[in-house]
Amino acid sequence: MLTSGWGNYPKVDAELFSSSKIQDIISYIGNNNNLIPQGFARSYGDSALNGHILSTRKLDHFIEFDSEKGIITAQAGVLFSEILQIVVPKGWFLPVTPGTKYVTLGGAISSDVHGKNHHKHGTLGQYVESMDILLANGEIKHCSKSENSELFNSAIAGMGLMGVILSATLKLHKIETAYIKQKVIKTRSLEELYELFEINRNYTYSVSWIDITGGARRSVNGLLMLGEHALREDLQVNKEKKDVIAGNPLDVPFYFPNIVLNHSTIKIFNTLYYAKELKKEKNAITYFDSYFYPLDIVNNWNKVYGHRGFLQYQFVVPLEHGLQAIKQILNKIADYGQASFLTVLKTFGKRNDFVLSFPDEGYTLAMDFPLTRGLFPMFDELDKIVLDYGGRFYLTKDAHLSPETFRKSNPEIEKFLEIKAKYDPNNKFQSLQSKRLGF
Ligand SMILES: Cc1cc2nc3c(=O)[nH]c(=O)nc-3n(C[C@H](O)[C@H](O)[C@H](O)COP(=O)(O)OP(=O)(O)OC[C@H]3O[C@@H](n4cnc5c(N)ncnc54)[C@H](O)[C@@H]3O)c2cc1C
């Protein structure tokens, strides 16, 4: 079957295998080479794609939930949306969550996902207490920070290349309510936004959406969204709180024609969107869903980019000179006449110990571009700027990097490959991405 990641690029003709029985999965691994585990295929590019795809979605059982201590053990194919349904009513929340709840536990660990709280709480992997991993030789290894720690530290952010995560135990975050106290601040320039990020470092959650359609030579409008888990007392005093209206997300039923999203339409959307918020600062209490997962309201929004698909470009540059680097990137994009529909800027805190983990202390920018002929040459230029500033790229979003660029930005790849050789000596686990990057 023809399949792809969230960006609908690249598309690959693959055999998809899925089973709820561990024994069947062991046999499949024994009988096939050149295969990659897949969760919910929410990675944008080619990291969960190959000729043989082992889908873990049928590993969808909860194993244990200690609602006193906030510790949950589940099979790898369980979705974050399913975990939230169980833990939120008991006063717990995911310690780290990406911008969609439609990811599997195994997929999120393999990407070592970050959220809006990285500057305070780090990545998801830092809350994984232990995992069971099925190796290439059919053996299941239990691992944690103290047991088989080398495997643990490289399977987290390991992009499915160490083995198949079968289950994991996660430490959750205590909450009093399912609501978020949100402050939205309208900003008129990157300088103002940077200053506000610094001033508001104490906020648990912070993220900004910016309009980059004119590059950095003119003012860059933005919205900084700060958030804290609301306490019971916040709900009592806040008169604006409205009951949550449950409902199905909207659906994009078909692919849009490719001409719908071009530089002009993206510019119009961004201008209207950033002009919409009239007040300089807005405070509200909002249900966690609308704060963390605004994009999930529209199912399959990726179809808006048409059949050709789109690519996300996400990098991080160190704090020092971060503003300069980002301005240079935005100007280069404007020079190429390209535009990103949705652009997200966040701060990252200190780096963790997981070998291939992406986040480094600094600023991270994620941009979505419809696939056009000029896109790859532009990405090559952006890559050079990111490398010049000592930045890194997020494999989960990538579908274009060259082996040379990746190695320069991720020198730890050699250590990763040494460890992989121990656990997967015949290189059974591979993805289109790992082959493109020459792992
Ligand atoms: C709208 C949207 C917003 C997002 N926001 C963020 C964000 O804020 N922060 C962030 O970090 N990411 C973000 N992402 C990316 C997303 O969190 C990651 O791509 C995540 O890994 C997807 O999980 P998945 O289950 O779909 O995994 P897949 O996409 O299926 O796989 C991702 C990787 O994990 C591996 N893998 C999957 N399951 C297993 C397993 N059981 N064992 C071993 N390896 C496995 C795959 O081989 C692949 O390399 C976003 C994605 C979308 C679509």
Nearest CA to ligand 1 atom 32: 107
pLDDT at residue 185 greater than cutoff 80: yes
Tell me the average pLDDT across 108-113: 98
Model confidence over 282-301: pLDDT tens digits?
A: 999 999 999 999 999 888 88
Question: Please, are residues 149 and 419 in contact by the beta-carbon 8 Å criterion?
Answer: no
Tell me the average pLDDT across 75-89: 98
Q: What angle do CA 309, 268, 275 make, to 5 degrees?
A: 125
pLDDT at residue 248 greater than cutoff 70: no
Tell me the average pLDDT across 32-46: 97
Residue-level pLDDT at 245:
37
Q: Regarding predicted confidence, which is higher, 363 or 271?
A: 363
Which CATH architecture best describes the domain 179-408? Answer: 2-Layer Sandwich (3.30)
Residue-level pLDDT at 253:
56
Question: How many A from CA of 43 to the centre of ligand 1?
Answer: 5
CA distance 314 to 291: 21
Nearest CA to ligand 1 atom 51: 42
3-state secondary structure of 41: coil
pTM of the model: 0.95
Residue 35: which pLDDT band, with cuts at 50, 70 and 90? very high
Model confidence over 349-362: pLDDT tens digits?
A: 999 999 999 999 99
Residue in 396, 346, 400 with CA at minimum distance from that of residue 369: 400
Pocket probe for ligand 1: among 28, 396, 397, 398, the residue whose CB has the most ligand atoms within 8 Å is: 396
pLDDT at residue 242 greater than cutoff 50: no
Report the mean per-residue pLDDT for the chain.
Answer: 92
Model confidence over 391-416: pLDDT tens digits?
A: 999 999 999 999 999 999 999 999 99
Residue 250: which pLDDT band, with cuts at 50, 70 and 90? low
Question: How many A from CA of 39 to the centre of ligand 1?
Answer: 7
Model confidence over 130-157: pLDDT tens digits?
A: 999 999 999 999 999 999 999 999 999 9
Which ligand 1 atom is the nearest neighbour of the CA of 296?
A: 1
Q: Is the dihedral of CA 246, 107, 120, 176 positive or negative?
A: positive
Q: Which residues of the chain does CATH 3.30.70.2520 include?
A: 179-408
Q: Which residue has the tokens 């050079």?
A: 384
Binding site membership of 116 for ligand 1 (Cβ less than 6 Å): no
Question: How many A from CA of 395 to the centre of ligand 1?
Answer: 10
Nearest CA to ligand 1 atom 15: 43
Give a three-class secondary structure readout of 56-117.
CCCCCCEEEEECCCCEEEEECCCEHHHHHHHHHHHCEECCCCCCCCCCEHHHHHHHCCCCCC
Long-range contacts of range 39-42, CB-CB < 8 Å, 24 or more positions apart?
39/76, 39/77, 39/103, 39/104, 39/105, 39/106, 39/107, 39/108, 39/110, 40/79, 40/102, 40/103, 40/104, 40/107, 41/3, 41/4, 41/5, 41/6, 42/5, 42/6, 42/100, 42/102, 42/103, 42/107
Q: Which residues of the chain does CATH 3.30.465.10 include?
A: 62-175
The secondary structure of 283-319 as a DSSP string is EEEEEHHHHH-GGGGEETGGGGG-TT-EEEEEEEEES
Binding site membership of 106 for ligand 1 (Cβ less than 6 Å): yes
Binding site membership of 7 for ligand 1 (Cβ less than 6 Å): no
Tell me the average pLDDT across 14-19: 98
Binding site membership of 100 for ligand 1 (Cβ less than 6 Å): yes
Residue in 395, 378, 380 with CA at minimum distance from that of residue 338: 378
Residue in 162, 232, 224, 155 with CA at minimum distance from that of residue 189: 224
CA distance 265 to 89: 41
Residue in 409, 413, 420, 411 with CA at minimum distance from that of residue 438: 413
Question: Please, are residues 250 and 298 in contact by the beta-carbon 8 Å criterion?
Answer: yes
Tell me the average pLDDT across 322-327: 96
Model confidence over 186-239: pLDDT tens digits?
A: 999 999 999 999 999 999 999 999 999 888 888 899 999 999 999 999 987 655
- Domain 62-175 annotated CATH 3.30.465.10: yes
Residue-level pLDDT at 299:
85
Residue-level pLDDT at 341:
84
Nearest CA to ligand 1 atom 8: 98
Pocket probe for ligand 1: among 75, 104, 347, the residue whose CB has the most ligand atoms within 8 Å is: 104
